[in-house]
Amino acid sequence: MTAQKKLFIKTYGCQMNVYDSERMAEALGGQGYVETQTPDDADMILLNTCHIREKAAEKIYSELGRFKGLKAEKPDLKIGVAGCVAQAEGEEIIRRQPMVDLVVGPQSYHRLPAMEQAVAKGGKALDTDFPKDDKFDTLRSRPKAKRGPTAFLTVQEGCDKFCAFCVVPYTRGAEVSRPAERIIREAQELVEAGVREITLLGQNVNAYHGHDGGLAGLIWALDKVDGLERIRFTTSHPNDMDDALIEAHGTCDKLMPYLHLPVQSGSDRMLKAMNRKHTREQYFRLIEKIRAARPDLLLSGDFIVGFPGETEEDFEDTMDLVRTVTYGQAYSFKYSTRPGTPAAEKPQLPEEVMTDRLHRLQALLGEQQRAVQDSMIGRDVKVLFEKKGREAGQMIGKSEYLHAVFAETSDVAVGDIRTVRIVKSERNSLGGELR
């Protein structure tokens, strides 16, 4: 029997990395590893990295530096870097931080057991290939251990869009979709383990083509899984939002009325410079169709301010788009360069200009988010309760609109879906009473 060892994984970035970390832990489970919540007692530390944010690589090197003392105390401690920074930096990570034992890209983590064995024999392990073998097919089935009521499930990876600001096509590779039957089987395993809501993940999830009916076809297939009560998906690209998927939002009861649909800019000039391949008018028409299908849908988006060449007029076009569309949630960022991307070679805007524009945009988005939350007061929503609150007798969950909702109750268990009347709106959550 393999001796039990402890694995600490620190996850950075998006929900796909959360999913990947779960699968890496499962892959190493066969080597006798169980997860721990602290690096201090770990036999292996894995940093699952994201390359989207500014200075991502430097932040990882800084994080690795914090483990030097621990490595000195425990020479047998294995340290690994996974994910998109690993893919981008490769051998440079081991060169700059020789204490790192293994580096694995996001498409190769199914090979972790073999890499761990190589390290155990005193070597270093590096794998940043885009292998032909399917990592999901190679990994063993999900364990049947009890899980929380929500879970992520990756259905699509990679990107063929090549937006001028983005490294994803270089770190995650071309768009690849998992076969529908494997996704459905994994969803069934998750439901058997206690999951009631699944969020389908992909860099461009609505570009999914592993089912004859695309993402809409997959959603309808998952709709038939007994015990699965809620379906969500993220992140979408406007160019892949087809009529079947829009119709599903209006007709599939299990598909929640929440959509994350990044536009990035409201300026046609900037959209062209970003290589987004759609216009603001096309985005407006798309939103009209989606809201006609599901009038109560809560819309979320992404915005970049200060993209190279952005003028005040371009920025005002973005502000106008936000005022026209209205977002219940949104994520906004200052542009930051990514080496190897087309925009990185262009003259950058002054930092103070970008900061000013970001603050103005976030103020508008914040007003819209608060208004949407306030409009929920007096409405009944269905809440999937996920955990106990800080206060005695309080439970916290998510509404169908992805709002965090808390309620005072002693009559609810984790995993229950109950009707709640919203009675108050706070900064990032809603308060309610059971109906």
* Residues flagged as binding site for [4Fe-4S] cluster: 14, 50, 84, 159, 163, 166
d(CA 223, CA 328): 26
* Positive/negative CA dihedral, 62, 63, 69, 71: negative
User: Which segments are annotated as binding site?
Assistant: 14, 50, 84, 159, 163, 166
Contact call for residues 31 and 113 (beta carbons, < 8 A): yes
- Virtual CA dihedral for 175, 179, 185, 188, nearest 10 degrees? 50
Residue closest to 116 by CA, chosen among 45, 28, 17 = 28
d(CA 59, CA 400): 35
Strands 380-388 vs 394-399: parallel, antiparallel or unpaired: antiparallel
d(CA 95, CA 97): 6
* DSSP secondary structure code for residue 262 in this structure: -
CA–CA–CA angle 292, 293, 298 (5° rounding): 85
Strands 430-434 vs 417-425: parallel, antiparallel or unpaired: antiparallel
